[in-house]
Structure 1
Amino acid sequence: MATQNTPNRMILVSVPRTASNLLLKVLNIPKQPNVITSPKGGYFFYDAFMTAGKDGRFNKAIGEWTQEEKSEVHKAFQHAVTDLEEYSARAHAENKMIFAKEHAFWFLNPGFFSGMTHGAVSDEDLKSFQVTVPESYGLSQTFSQNNSTVLPDEYLRTWQLAFIIRHPALAWPSLYRAMQKMCKAGFLEDDDAKGVSLTNMSMQWTRRLFDWCLEQPDAPVTPLVIDANDVIHNPGAVIKFCERAGMDTGSMQFEWKDNERKSETWTPDRASADNPAELARHQKAASIMLSSLEGSTGINKEKAPTSIDIDAEVVKWRAEFGDEVAELLEKATRDAMPDYEYLKANRVTA
């Protein structure tokens, strides 16, 4: 929704295990001549979400949070916007695009996230997490019904939003496997793997943001959507996505050398800059989530079968995870399918 009077800015909205890092690798974001991004390719709101979720906070209703907890989380979101604005200013000064990839729930208002399991949240509690943006974005700061983020409508309208999706029957078991590895590495307790996975197994926040885009008066076209299956099997769709995003298709790559595998570098941030042990934890966690990509020299088409039978996948999940987890995955998959199919119908095709 960025206009001619605002910097060229894009947020790629994802959820875990949707091949978003692969898309950045194919687009070759670090070597796009007219793009500026963070060393992580975005993730400006990573620290804020981690702050919101630490110490088991999401296990209790927002109304039970202390004022200190709310203030700490609000401060983390405000820092994220400050960092984002600093990169945006640099990009604007150099007449380039600022690009950021963010998981949908990372800049979701924690009140809505908590509301998934603890019921409705008061307007006052929602306001406690909403950030303040510079007055240059307008004196009013509103939050319309489909804007569940911490960012006001007036600010979001200055960004072009794009979305990457993947069939839930592929994304959700992949996420659960990653969470199991996190448990083995000591990042999560065994009992947390299910809870963390289930709260992330949703495309409702992606769909809400997509619908929000369609409601804006200055959005004449449908936002960009790309399916992970097309990233892997349909290079023409990725090329068209690149073109419509305003990037250089000549910089794209579908193969890469061994020494070019890593798509992200986890540099010190506000949460870990002064804590080497914490930084090492973040880097190790990133290596788990990026293991498939970092072990590749190109697109692995085996990761995305062209046809998916959920019933057949459930049989596989029972053998791999056991009945209880298979049932959880099946429910999460079937619950997410309407949102996935809706978004898929609006994807870029070639």
Structure 2
Amino acid sequence: MKDIMHYLLPPNGKPASIAPSLNRIKRGVGTESTGETPFPAVGANGTSNGAQANGHHHQQLNGATNGLHGHAALDSLAQVTPSKREPYPYDTAPEPGNPTVMPTEILSQFHFAFLIRDPHHSVPSYYRCTIPPLSDVTGFHNYDLSEAGYDEVRRTFDYLRSVRLIGPHIATQERDADDIDDRLRPVTNGLGHESGAEICVVDADDMLQKPAPMIEAFCRSVGLEYTPDMLNWDTAEDHQYARDAFEKWRGFHNDAIESKGLVARKHPHPVKTEEEWDAEWLKKYGPEGAALIRKAVDANMADYLYMKQFAMRV
């Protein structure tokens, strides 16, 4: 599954505590229960009944809310009592070092891979979806700097490394992560992980330069069987599936919906100076938009370049 990492962390670098919907209450700890409580009704990203995640703002999307299309999951297990408090901070205990609201016990059940993209491309790509004419389709009418997500990806990545849920080996590289950054030597996590899944980071530009080798390397890293037909989706059934899957996010993924496969770029992105980037954004988005894009790019480049060190190379 693909999801957005910053939905699992409090916004603006706030300290995390475990989401109540994911917090198993142990017997005899503040409860008369005879055992652990089941997980209560949750929507996407640990939110109750499709509600807001960790203080991140809520958007109405083409008639569906941002949380399992407005429906709660696991409704039969428990009834969530509405709270009059703000959605965050939670009144639950944090886990030392864990920047997310998800317990490490649950994080350990996933095999993580990371998709990154140069902010010079990702920030304006998202920004244009928040201004006319696309904003009338997407339903997003403001660009929030806190939603770029690079800081959250880096902090989660580093935590997973520190508890050895990933690493130290890096997919396709001869060096280990500890050779790049040895600050994150493993700590005792109680989960028995001496060495985690190999680090799998895919840079979007690298993938579009060499799609077949990159997807094959990705599959090898995460344990999937690679077949060349993974790069093609040009049947009526495929196109209908894409339209249905992306319906909720209309306006954001039109290029993907209309595509027929993953093909290599004929020419790599031209190398531009920062002044050339600024001139391009000024021409496309005006002074206010260009200034906002520049601020977001500058705020996230260090985190992108940090993650880039661990990216697969083919």
Q: Give the structure-2-normalised TM-score.
A: 0.60
> Aligned-pair distance for 1:265?
5.9
Residues 13 and 161 in structure 1, CA contact (< 8 A), matched pair in contact too: no
Distance 1:170 1:178, change over 3 A: same
Query: What code does the residue aligned with 1:261 have?
Result: H
CA distance, structure 2, for counterparts of residue 78 and residue 148 of structure 1:
27
The aligned residue for residue 134 of structure 1 is none
Q: Whose radius of gyration is greater, 1 or 2?
A: 2
Distance 1:237 1:48, change over 3 A: farther
How many residue pairs match? The answer is 226
Residues 12 and 162 in structure 1, CA contact (< 8 A), matched pair in contact too: no
Q: Does 1:298 align with 2:261?
A: yes
Query: What code does the residue aligned with 2:135 have?
Result: C
1:286 to 226, 230, 249: 249
> Aligned-pair distance for 1:287?
2.5
> Aligned-pair distance for 1:286?
1.7
> Aligned-pair distance for 1:339?
0.6
Matches within 5 A, 1:88-167: 111=88, 125-127=89-91, 143-145=95-97, 147-167=98-118
Residues 219 and 225 in structure 2, CA contact (< 8 A), matched pair in contact too: yes
Q: Secondary structure at the match of 1:248?
A: coil
The aligned residue for residue 143 of structure 2 is 194
CA distance, structure 2, for counterparts of residue 265 and residue 313 of structure 1:
33
Instruction: Specify which structure has the bigger relative contact order, considering alpha-carbon pairs within 8 angstroms and separated by 6 or more residues.
Output: 1
CA distance, structure 2, for counterparts of residue 303 and residue 148 of structure 1:
39
Q: Does 1:250 align with 2:244?
A: no
Q: Note the residue ranges of structure 2 that are not aligned, 5 or more in a row.
A: 7-42, 59-65, 76-86, 165-192
Identity %: 21
Residues 50 and 71 in structure 2, CA contact (< 8 A), matched pair in contact too: no
The aligned residue for residue 210 of structure 1 is 157
> Aligned-pair distance for 1:79?
5.1
CA distance, structure 2, for counterparts of residue 154 and residue 142 of structure 1:
13
1:315 to 256, 279, 291: 279
Q: Secondary structure at the match of 2:269?
A: coil
The aligned residue for residue 51 of structure 1 is 51
2:121 to 170, 175, 188: 170
The aligned residue for residue 204 of structure 2 is 228
> Aligned-pair distance for 1:249?
0.4
Residues 229 and 306 in structure 1, CA contact (< 8 A), matched pair in contact too: no
Q: Does 1:339 align with 2:291?
A: no
Distance 1:15 1:150, change over 3 A: closer
CA distance, structure 2, for counterparts of residue 262 and residue 315 of structure 1:
39
Deviations 1:85-132 (A, max 9, x none): xxxxxxxxxxxxxxxxxxxxxxxxx74xxxxxxxxxxxxx2346xxxx
> Aligned-pair distance for 1:238?
2.0
Q: Note the residue ranges of structure 1 that are not aligned, 5 or more in a row.
A: 1-10, 17-42, 60-72, 84-109, 112-124, 129-140, 268-281
Residues 198 and 221 in structure 2, CA contact (< 8 A), matched pair in contact too: no
> Aligned-pair distance for 1:320?
0.6
> Aligned-pair distance for 1:144?
3.0
Distance 1:237 1:142, change over 3 A: same
CA distance, structure 2, for counterparts of residue 253 and residue 212 of structure 1:
32
CA distance, structure 2, for counterparts of residue 264 and residue 165 of structure 1:
22
Q: Does 1:240 align with 2:217?
A: yes
Distance 1:252 1:48, change over 3 A: farther
Aligned-pair Cα RMSD in Å: 3.9
> Aligned-pair distance for 1:216?
0.9
Q: Secondary structure at the match of 1:325?
A: helix
Deviations 1:167-216 (A, max 9, x none): 0000010001122255223724xxx4233xx2322301111111011111
